[in-house]
């Protein structure tokens, strides 16, 4: 088992820098969420990791080897994205057959179970599927290939709430059947809090959070009370945002609470949930009221 690393990975489209000097270390057998606002570079990063596009500079390293176009082990890395070029006039059954040939093996048992659960008829053609069902089918294929690293780019795009819950269960089931690394990008942040172990957040061409979910949540606080006392308590801490509603002033922080600082009775400290933390961490910079 080997980590998948990026070293000083940079991607430019023309003059636009999309990813700048990323040094990532993706552990084997771990479920990651890759988060970021629209245009943050999530799809670009996943496409580079899966060798669908090339970095402008820097490298992707696996098993102590720099992965280059020619040497990229196709069977070990699989990207499911909106660009999966399945032939639209092909039946699902046929696509599974072709994928099995290409990938060497295929978890037909899992695929059959998922096709049945989602009521997808394998005799249907891709062109006969709705947008949501196409996403479901692409994810079924991605979870059934033998890859060690599976990248799911927005696997829940266009899925209704029931199908999203089912899909999360099957992602976990696939992982429990055979551990592998799964990196999934999504905008539905709160829904994946219990599914993933580790969070990566892209903002302004950099990774700004690379943390276990538990650690991220443990450091995300909302501190409320009278303004002066909250400000005094939060001095020196990383403040992401603040707001004043009537007499109640709240600071959103991302930091460990100082062990020796006394918490006045007038202030209340709560943990933020994953969605709130994400929103505060990825908000455009603005002047704080401090
Ligand atoms: N082939 C391309 N040519 C030029 N610019 C591109 C290309 N692909 C992506 N970009 C630009 O790179 C930036 C990052 O795009 P990317 O699709 O990776 O973001 P994302 O985080 O996946 O966004 P979203 O959440 O909206 O899907 C955007 O500004 C996009 O316009």
Q: What is the ipTM of this complex?
A: 0.98
Looking at the predicted structure, is the pLDDT value of residue 289 above 60?
A: no
Write the residue with the smallest CA distance to atom 31 of ligand 1: 39
Contact (Cβ atoms closer than 8 angstroms) between residue 41 and residue 205: yes
- Taking residues 59-72, report their average pLDDT: 85
Spatial CA neighbour of 106 closest among 114, 94, 96: 96
Using a 6 Å cutoff on CB, does residue 39 contact ligand 1?
yes
Q: Which residue has the tokens 């600071």?
A: 251
Kindly report, residue by residue over 7-62, the tens digit of the pLDDT.
Answer: 999 999 999 999 999 999 999 999 999 999 999 999 999 999 999 999 999 999 99
Distance (Å, whole) CA 290 – CA 287: 9
Using a 6 Å cutoff on CB, does residue 264 contact ligand 1?
no
Domains, the chain, in order of start with CATH, read 4-212 (3.40.50.300), 219-282 (no CATH)
| Whole-number pLDDT of residue 287 | 60
Using a 6 Å cutoff on CB, does residue 18 contact ligand 1?
yes
Kindly report, residue by residue over 97-121, the tens digit of the pLDDT.
Answer: 999 998 999 999 999 999 999 999 9
Contact (Cβ atoms closer than 8 angstroms) between residue 31 and residue 198: yes
Tokens of 5: 């690393």
Using a 6 Å cutoff on CB, does residue 11 contact ligand 1?
no
pTM value is: 0.94
User: How far is CA 93 from each of CA 6, 102, 105, 166, rounded to the nearest angstrom?
Assistant: 36, 14, 15, 21
Write the residue with the smallest CA distance to atom 28 of ligand 1: 39
């Amino acid at each position: 088992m080997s980590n998948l690393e990026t070293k000083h990975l940079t991607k430019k489209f023309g003059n636009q820098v999309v990813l700048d000097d990323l040094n990532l270390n993706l552990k084997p057998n771990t479920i990651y969420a890759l988060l970021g606002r629209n245009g943050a570079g999530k799809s670009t990063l996943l496409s580079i990791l899966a060798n669908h596009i090339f970095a402008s500079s820097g490298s992707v390293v696996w098993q102590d080897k720099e992965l280059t176009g020619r040497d990229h082990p196709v069977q070990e890395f699989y990207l499911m994205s909106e660009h999966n070029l399945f032939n639209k006039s092909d039946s699902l059954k046929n696509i599974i057959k072709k994928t099995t040939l290409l990938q060497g093996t295929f978890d037909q048992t899992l695929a059959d179970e998922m096709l049945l659960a989602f009521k997808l008829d394998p005799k249907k053609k891709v062109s006969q599927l709705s947008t949501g069902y196409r996403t479901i089918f692409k994810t079924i294929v991605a979870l059934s290939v033998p890859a060690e690293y599976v990248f799911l780019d927005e696997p829940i795009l266009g899925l209704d709430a029931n199908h999203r819950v089912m899909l999360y269960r099957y992602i976990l089931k696939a992982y429990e059947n055979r551990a592998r690394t799964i990196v999934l990008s999504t905008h539905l942040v709160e829904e994946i809090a219990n599914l993933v172990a580790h969070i990566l957040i892209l903002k302004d061409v950099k990774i700004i959070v690379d943390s276990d979910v538990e650690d991220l949540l443990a450091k995300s606080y909302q501190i409320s009370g009278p303004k002066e006392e909250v400000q005094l308590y939060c001095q020196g801490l990383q403040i992401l945002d603040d707001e004043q509603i009537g007499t109640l002033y709240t600071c959103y922080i991302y930091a460990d609470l100082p062990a020796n600082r006394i918490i006045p009775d007038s202030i209340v400290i709560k943990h933020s949930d994953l969605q709130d933390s994400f929103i505060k961490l990825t908000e455009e910079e603005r002047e704080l009221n401090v």
